[in-house]
Structure 1
Amino acid sequence: MTRTMPWGPSGSAPPLAATLLNILAAVLRKASVLLEGRAARVAQAAQAEALAAAEELLAASTDTVEFHAYHRDAGAPEGALYVNGELVGFVSGVSRL
């Protein structure tokens, strides 16, 4: 039984295509790491911005608007419009919103 011997020397360099593929793979891995870090920073900034906006809304004095469509609804007249619990006026011709 005989073995097939390779044609090239045993210590030869890999083909150019294999070297290029290895370089391309390394570049893509590095780009992936950089993009992952950038995505984490953008997500963290967006979360901080959302929390700041929520805290600002909570701190601001926002008005509460209520509309009572029926007489049986807490004794309010039909079409009554309230802002912060005070009667502001009536919406004529409207019984439901």
Structure 2
Amino acid sequence: MDNLKINFVLAKVTTEQFAIIEDNFKNDSDIKLQINFRFAADNKQKVVAVFNSFVFEANTKQFLLIEAGCHFAIAPDSWDKIHNKDSNKLVVPSGFL
């Protein structure tokens, strides 16, 4: 499965969230960064999406939130190789992500 060729294009990059909360930022405080990733798929549109979020905190208060998404359109023949219609599961090769 890891050597499976997947034909795709980066169809769209989105900003899911963006916020600056200036009152929560303190110059003299330690900064904490939380990074999260999540994945989604759309069977009808044959799209796989990866979402990355970054949350910056000062004194446990969020002051900057950013979440972006990369939406990959998968070629129909490639989609059929990674999508199991019986179980409705999508198995994406590790090298793809």
TM-score (norm 2): 0.23
Higher helix share: 1
Higher strand share: 2
TM-score (norm 1): 0.23
Higher RCO (Cα < 8 Å, 6 or more apart): 2
